[in-house]
Amino acid sequence: MSERAAPFYCPYCGDEDLRPSEAAEASHGAWECAACNRAFQLKFLGLLARGVQRTDPGGDRI
């Protein structure tokens, strides 16, 4: 099994100064933002049954 992916930026303020949460009650996927002093958790919910569908007809027209 591979390592879990880390977020690149805070979903609240956009800063990149993130650290894994070390709080005793924190579970896997918990992160702390040093810039805005918020904590958040990432969780994978699963794959969609329908998959990825494209809603537009295609690329740019020339």
Q: What is the mean pLDDT of each run of 10 residues along the chain (62 residues)?
A: 76 95 72 95 84 68 66
**Which pLDDT belongs to residue 3?**
59
The encoded tokens of residue 4 equal: 């879990």
Helical H runs in the chain?
Answer: none
**Which pLDDT belongs to residue 1?**
43
Distance of CA 40 to the CA centre of its chain: 10
How, if at all, do strands 18-20 and 38-41 pair?
Answer: unpaired
Q: Considering only CA atoms, which of 11, 46, 49, 47 is closest in space to residue 31?
A: 11
**Which pLDDT belongs to residue 42?**
86
The encoded tokens of residue 12 equal: 């609240």
